[in-house]
């Protein structure tokens, strides 16, 4: 395995000492090292991969140095636009080192949302005319040297594709001061108990949907009114907006996370504009980290979600920390019409034995559609 500290030191010695991106569990040891920070490099965590490419491009413009942008291969799909219309040789010709986690690697077991992107990752890089190599444990120093040389000589990006398990855990882990907030799973139990029985739930990707599924299983209640968003991080709120326009009277609940909400922050404006008179309750559980990829920090500590929502046209906005505040807020929401936001602060963390939905995405979709059709 490659020690992330040694990998970073090698980059710094080769004058790549600026990193930006969105973390990926495939190489969480490395992204955890970025997140921990150091006086020897600059790390700016981004809300989404497009943003990271822009940040890195700006750094190159001001220094002439080659920055690194890290992402899961799902993010490769997201950066097609800033790459083709800004960083490509036909436009500004910006040299960037892409570090791309290979979820859904062919022949390896992975979740459904990673299979297609995993299968086409190399082909997509070839289509985009991005030179690339699959990072090798025994050749990584040579590969990094080649990649950085290519970037410098050609003023073009170069990608290194990273397989799961290639990097060891980080030796230095950033430790946040423990908070006394409720865990997300405790919060979800309260929400599911208090919400109207006919409410339609659209939950964000990752552990939030996994926890809701297990709560339903353990309480022996139906999953039919739940749409568990897998992949498509940040899209749960826009999916829910579309659901609210269907021919039904059900209240719609969005269960969002801070990282997901920031990744597609423009949806606040879409909801405020198109959904302000809809019966939508947007619940945002903020634990300040990307839980599923190793608890790397999000940018939510400096974000006032309540103010954003209010300025975008949400009718009612509230915040909560305790169980009583959650119950009271949701009870009060029932008295008001239109779009509502409840921001709930939570502690990072989840059960080590947390399972995954036993239904397939297609089964989940079909059951959800039938539930709406049958009222």
Residue 246 CA to residue 253 CA, distance in Å, equals: 14
Closest CA to 191 of 309, 361, 343: 343
pLDDT at residue 177, rounded to an integer: 61
Closest CA to 309 of 273, 345, 263: 273
Closest CA to 221 of 241, 201, 248: 201
Q: What is the pLDDT of residues 18-37, one digit of tens each?
A: 999 999 999 999 999 999 99
pLDDT at residue 44, rounded to an integer: 97
**CATH code 3.40.50.970 for 184-373:** yes
Which stretches in the chain have pLDDT values below 50? none
Superfamily of 4-162 according to CATH? Thiamin diphosphate (ThDP)-binding fold, Pyr/PP domains (3.40.50.970)
CA-angle at 252, arms to 249 and 257, nearest 5°: 175
Element (H, E) at 340: strand 340-345
Q: Are 244 and 280 in contact (CB under 8 A)?
A: yes
Q: How many residues does the chain have?
A: 375
Dihedral sign for Cα atoms in the order 9, 36, 44, 80: positive
Domain ranges of the chain: 4-162, 184-373
pLDDT at residue 176, rounded to an integer: 57
pLDDT at residue 267, rounded to an integer: 97
Residue 343 phi, psi (nearest 5): -100, 125
pLDDT at residue 295, rounded to an integer: 85
pLDDT at residue 172, rounded to an integer: 63
pLDDT at residue 347, rounded to an integer: 95
| Exposure string for 6-25, b = 16+ CB within 10 A, e = fewer | ebbebbeebebbbbbbbbbe
Residue 229 CA to residue 373 CA, distance in Å, equals: 20
pLDDT at residue 338, rounded to an integer: 95
Does 184-373 match 4-162 at the fold level? yes
């Amino acid at each position: 395995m490659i020690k992330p500290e040694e990998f970073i030191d090698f980059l710094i010695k080769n004058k790549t000492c600026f990193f930006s991106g969105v973390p990926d569990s495939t190489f969480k040891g490395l992204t955890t090292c970025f997140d921990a920070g150091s006086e020897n490099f600059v790390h700016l965590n981004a809300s989404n991969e497009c943003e990271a490419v822009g940040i890195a491009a700006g750094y190159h413009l001001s220094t002439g140095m080659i920055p690194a942008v890290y992402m899961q291969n799902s993010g490769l799909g997201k950066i097609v636009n800033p790459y083709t219309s800004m960083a490509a040789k036909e436009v500004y010709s910006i040299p960037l080192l892409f570090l791309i986690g290979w979820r859904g690697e062919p022949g390896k077991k992975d979740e459904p949302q990673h299979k297609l992107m995993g299968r086409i990752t190399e082909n997509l890089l070839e289509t985009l005319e991005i030179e690339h190599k699959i990072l090798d444990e025994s050749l990584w120093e040579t590969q990094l040297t080649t990649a950085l040389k290519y970037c410098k000589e050609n003023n073009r990006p170069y990608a290194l594709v990273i397989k799961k398990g290639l990097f060891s855990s980080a030796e230095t882990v950033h430790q946040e001061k423990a908070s006394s907030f409720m865990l997300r799973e405790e919060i979800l139990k309260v929400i599911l108990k208090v919400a109207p029985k006919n409410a339609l739930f659209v939950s964000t990707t990752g552990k939030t949907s996994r926890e809701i599924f297990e709560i339903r299983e353990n309480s022996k209640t139906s999953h039919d009114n739940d749409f568990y968003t897998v992949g498509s991080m940040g899209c749960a709120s826009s999916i829910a907006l579309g659901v609210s326009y269907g021919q039904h009277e059900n209240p719609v609940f969005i269960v969002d996370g801070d990282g997901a909400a920031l990744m597609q922050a423009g949806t606040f404006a879409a909801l405020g504009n198109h959904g302000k008179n809809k019966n939508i309750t947007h619940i945002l559980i903020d634990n300040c980290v990307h839980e599923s990829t190793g608890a790397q920090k999000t940018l939510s500590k400096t974000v006032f979600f309540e103010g954003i929502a209010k300025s975008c046209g949400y009718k009612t906005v509230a915040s909560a920390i305790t169980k009583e505040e959650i119950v009271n807020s949701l009870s009060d929401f029932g008295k008001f019409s239109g779009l509502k936001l409840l921001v709930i602060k939570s502690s990072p963390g989840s059960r080590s034995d947390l399972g995954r939905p036993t239904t397939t995405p297609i089964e989940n979709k079909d059951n959800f559609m039938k539930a709406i059709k049958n009222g």
